[in-house]
Amino acid sequence: MNINTHTNIKEAKEAESCTVPAYVCLENISLTLSEKSILKEVSFSLPATGISSLIGPSGAGKSSLLRCLTNLYGNWQGVISVAGVNTHSWLGGEDALRRHIGLIAQKPSVFPASIHDNVIFGLSRKERKQDQSLRIEQCLKQAALWNEVKDRLHEAANTLSVGQQQRLCMARALALEPKVLLLDEPTASLDPHSKQLIEASLHDLAKEMPSLCVTHDLEQAQRLQGQIIFMCDGKIIETATVNDFFQSPKRLETREFLRWSVCDCD
């Protein structure tokens, strides 16, 4: 082995094991559900700011990965660290971790309560007793929902459309002032105008925190900038900047996926 090869292997290992500056770092994450291997040694990192797009075919394991990040699946293997702290030993436990890492799930789940109460649902009893009207307005604006609900905040949340419910879930997550944002297809049920507003809001939020956005919309992934993480069959196929990913993808699987929207990575 010559010196250069040795250096390259060392650099690759360092990048893989998150010795490069990263706010969120996943190392060799594996997950088995019902005896099926869902995630296979997934490693990547998120920088302190900016949006990363997680893409890949249906069933690739994208939602499962987000659930591991917030410990909604408890049986994953590997190491996840956030701000240098192993999430398994997070101070304050899972509730504190889920406050730090906001997850906007693929399927909206509003609570049987008013729009207003849904936004403040995750706050502590003490916080809920204080006047939260400014926080509610800000979060609903960030979720591009304020104009549609400002005159009906005390109506039941389940009277909202699916797209509106999804944005309400985003407002509820933002009300907890997370330091990391995970979004699972946040604009899948939205009309083009709402989608545009959410993307603008994501760009603003990502100036202050790392965001990981699952999307099937490759044009959206390009608009979001940041890095692209391409997954298939529970594995990371390629991680690259937007320009490198779309203009000079390294892996054959990536080129096929970009061309045919399918991935044959088995």
Contact positions vs ligand ATP (CB under 6 A): 33-34, 36, 38, 56, 58-64, 106
Under rule CB under 5 A, residue 166 binds Mg ion: no
Q: Measured from the CB atom, is 136 or 214 closer to Mg ion?
A: 214
CA 214, 202, 189, 118 torsion-angle sign: positive
Name the β-bridge partners of 240.
Answer: 228
Q: Select the span of 39-47, 59-67, 188-196, 229-237 touching Mg ion (CB under 5 A).
A: 59-67
Name the β-bridge partners of 24.
Answer: 46, 82
Q: Select the span of 35-43, 63-71, 94-102, 146-154 touching Mg ion (CB under 5 A).
A: 63-71
Spatial distance between the Cα atoms of 180 and 205, rounded to a whole number of angstroms = 10
CB of 233 to ligand ATP, least distance (A): 9
**Chosen from Mg ion, ligand ATP, none, partner binding at 38 (C-beta under 5 to 8 Å by type):** ligand ATP
* Total site size for Mg ion, rule CB under 5 A: 2
Under rule CB under 5 A, residue 215 binds Mg ion: no
CB of 60 to Mg ion, least distance (A): 8
Spatial distance between the Cα atoms of 231 and 236, rounded to a whole number of angstroms = 4
CB of 63 to ligand ATP, least distance (A): 3
Per 3-state DSSP, the chain is made up of helix, strand and coil in percentages (nearest 5) of 40, 25, 35
Helix (H) or strand (E) holding 238: strand 235-241
Among 45, 63, 118, 215, binds Mg ion (CB under 5 A): 63
Cβ-proximal residues to 230 (8 Å cutoff; 6+ apart), any chain: 55, 56, 236, 237, 238, 239, 245, 253, 254, 257
Q: Measured from the CB atom, is 55 or 205 closer to ligand ATP?
A: 55
Under rule CB under 5 A, residue 87 binds Mg ion: no
